[in-house]
Amino acid sequence: MYTLIQHIEYLMMRYDCVVVPGWGALVAQYSESFYNPSAGVVERPRRSLGFNADVDHNDGLLAQSIVRREGVDYESALRMIAEGVAVYKRQLADGYEVPLGRLGFFHSNEGRAEFIPFYHEMMVDNYFGLRSVSFRPLEEALPEEPVLPKPTPRIFSRRVWKVAASVAALIGLSVLLTTPITVNHNQNLAGLNLPEMKTAAAVHAPVDWSDFEADLAVGLPTYELRTVARPAAVEPENGLLLDDGGANLLIIASLSSQRQAEGYIAEHPDLGAHMRVQQSGPKLFHVYVARSGDYNRLLGIRSTLPARYAQSWILEK
């Protein structure tokens, strides 16, 4: 009975549909990210579980898992499933709930099995690590509109300015008309006296720029090219890149067993001496290289890691 629950939990972590023959199918349902205006939050995408009692055919997935894990033949695996389903139905008929491990539980609703899922990120959520983001409304983020001063009333109207411009134009015209113009009547209008021709300036020989360029080159400053060294990586502390006893972890990889985590460390000798393993669940092992309570310090260490660890992330607690 308990073995059957373990297999269902294991398969739901890896597949979106697990059929229990004679009982129904557990189905993963995905919801996209959306904005919640009442809370001012952009909700992260989620993966939740549902149950369909009408899909109860044997697709072989659950039976094959029991064959591999328990070391029995296929017929024995089907018999174990049938016995477990019989116990489930008898419990519901007697008015009891049927627990399904950390996934949720079943109860009877008008003679039909109804599934109530638990919210457990490490078991049913492929988006583990993503967070919802809060946003302030735009009208709250913008500063208040400034109060503009009232315009000063005009002392002179537009009509007064037009009259003043007309008077100024009349005064200027009268001055122009009353000013005498002197005429020179002694000009030699018909004369053929030509102005004296000036001698063209002598053409100098072309300038030889070779000496000038040589003198200019002597006075040019010289520059020395230097290579700028890259900043040194963060020095290890206590065998790790950083460990000040904080709760936040700089995670390199997440694996489902201790043996897989140790194998990952052995396959990455460049940081293997700094890697440590922390178990965060029955099937979740984090490989990390730094621990600190300062989130920004972990971001700085992450930027110095080799390019092959670009997918590393920080787990906040």
Q: Which pLDDT score, from 0 to 100, does residue 86 have?
A: 92
CB 25 within 8 A of CB 17: yes
Q: Which pLDDT score, from 0 to 100, does residue 216 have?
A: 47
Asked whether the predicted pLDDT for residue 317 surpasses 60, the reply is: yes
Q: Which pLDDT score, from 0 to 100, does residue 156 have?
A: 55
Q: Which of 124, 126, 117, 112 is nearest to 56 (CA)?
A: 112
Asked whether the predicted pLDDT for residue 170 surpasses 70, the reply is: yes
pLDDT tens-place string over residues 225-254 = 344 333 344 444 444 567 777 888 888 888
Q: Which of 71-80, 125-134, 262-271 is least confident?
A: 125-134
Q: Which two tokens stand for residue 316?
A: 């906040």
To the nearest whole percent, how much of the chain has pLDDT over 70?
A: 68
Average model confidence (pLDDT) for the chain? 75
Q: Which pLDDT score, from 0 to 100, does residue 181 have?
A: 60
Q: Which of 241, 245, 309, 315 is nearest to 285 (CA)?
A: 315
Q: Which of 19-23, 69-73, 180-184 is least confident?
A: 180-184
CB 240 within 8 A of CB 301: no
Could you give the CA distance from residue 86 to residue 156 in angstroms, rounded to a whole number?
101
Higher-scoring residue by pLDDT: 216, 259: 259
Asked whether the predicted pLDDT for residue 195 surpasses 60, the reply is: no
166: confidence class by pLDDT, cuts 50, 70, 90: confident
Phi, psi torsion values for 171, nearest 5 degrees: -65, -45
Higher-scoring residue by pLDDT: 76, 307: 76
78: confidence class by pLDDT, cuts 50, 70, 90: very high
Residues in a beta bridge with 288: 251, 276
Q: Which pLDDT score, from 0 to 100, does residue 95 have?
A: 86
pLDDT tens-place string over residues 79-115 = 999 999 999 889 888 888 888 888 888 998 887 888 8
Asked whether the predicted pLDDT for residue 21 surpasses 90, the reply is: yes
Asked whether the predicted pLDDT for residue 19 surpasses 90, the reply is: yes
Q: Which pLDDT score, from 0 to 100, does residue 151 have?
A: 65
Q: Which of 105, 23, 117 is nearest to 62 (CA)?
A: 23
> 9 CB contacts (<8 Å, ≥6 apart)?
100, 101, 102, 103, 123
pLDDT tens-place string over residues 104-153 = 889 988 878 888 888 655 455 566 666 777 766 666 666 666 666 766 65
> 52 CB contacts (<8 Å, ≥6 apart)?
24, 25, 27
Mean pLDDT across the stretch 285-304? 88
Residues constituting the chain: 317
CB atoms within 10 A of CB 317: 8
CB atoms within 10 A of CB 265: 18
Q: Which pLDDT score, from 0 to 100, does residue 180 have?
A: 64
Q: Which pLDDT score, from 0 to 100, does residue 237 have?
A: 44
Strand boundaries in the chain, DSSP class E: 17-20, 24-31, 34-36, 41-43, 46-52, 98-99, 104-109, 112-117, 133-134, 242-243, 248-255, 276-281, 284-292, 313-315
Q: Which pLDDT score, from 0 to 100, does residue 312 have?
A: 87
Residues in a beta bridge with 240: 237
18: confidence class by pLDDT, cuts 50, 70, 90: very high
- In the DSSP assignment, the letter for residue 293 is S
